[in-house]
Amino acid sequence: MATHLVADTATLTARTLRHVTRSPDTVITTAITPVALMLMFVYVFGGAIDTGPERYIDYMLPGILLITIASGISYTAFRLFQDVQGGMFERFQSMPIARSGVLWAHVLTSLAANLVSLVLVMGIALLMGFRTGAGVLAWLAVVGLLVLFTLALTWVAVIPGLTATSVEGASGFSYPLIFLPFVSSAFVPTETMPGPVRWFAENQPVTSIVDTIRGLFAGRPVDGEVGLALAWCVGILVVAYVWATATYRRKIA
């Protein structure tokens, strides 16, 4: 059964990846918004924001990476919506394939496409002067956390992809997720924010994830932040996965 699921998921993932490679503009578009924000914040606002001895490009890059992921998952919801509206799920039901493989194919495609976008954004950041003293283990930890965050948000994207009644509804859900890093420690220290805003910024998931990645890049100990960041990512992933699979069974299967 497990072998059947893996084989079916691999076949379906290859199908959705072909769709992405035939329209690489989606990956490029995903990277354009974060890169534009990075250019604007570093070269327009960066000089007015006090981040202490840390250069602003180094300070704000983790937030840009999360925005890249939030931008990318909107295409996951869009592709899933197209399959639902195009009757692809009904066709798959008539074939001897693992039902969960259909969803996992979209999730793995999202992960691959987002990793490409993240590499593009990292490349631009390096050209803009981003530097890090992170070692191999720290880099692996950053990649692992970004992958986990991508999986969590992708399963969130599956829900509107299955339930939306319009293209705008399928992809528009990502806008609040893109906005969330702006009310966190991603671009300015939370100490500069007024009381209620500061409380929200310090107790939402983006801040703990951003602080962890920033600490890993800077070579600082992240014992306090990493546990909370992982808890947020795993919690969102579990809730979204359960909700998405229940929606799939109710609506499709």
pLDDT, tens only, 119-160: 999 999 999 999 998 889 999 999 999 999 999 999 998 888
CA distance 230 to 136: 19
Predicted confidence band at 197 (pLDDT cuts at 50, 70, 90)?
very high
Task: State the residue range of the domain holding 105.
Answer: 2-251
Domain count, the chain: 1
Provide the whole-model pTM. 0.88
Predicted confidence band at 178 (pLDDT cuts at 50, 70, 90)?
confident
Q: Which long-range contacts (C-beta less than 8 Å, at least 24 apart) are formed by 11-16?
A: 11/97, 11/101, 12/97, 12/101, 12/102, 12/104, 12/105, 13/104, 13/105, 13/108, 13/109, 15/105, 16/79, 16/105, 16/106, 16/109
pLDDT, tens only, 244-253: 989 888 876 5
What's the Rg (C-alpha) of the chain? 19
pLDDT, tens only, 226-244: 999 999 999 999 999 999 9
Helical segments of the chain, H only:
2-22, 25-40, 56-85, 88-93, 99-127, 136-163, 167-172, 174-179, 195-202, 205-218, 223-251
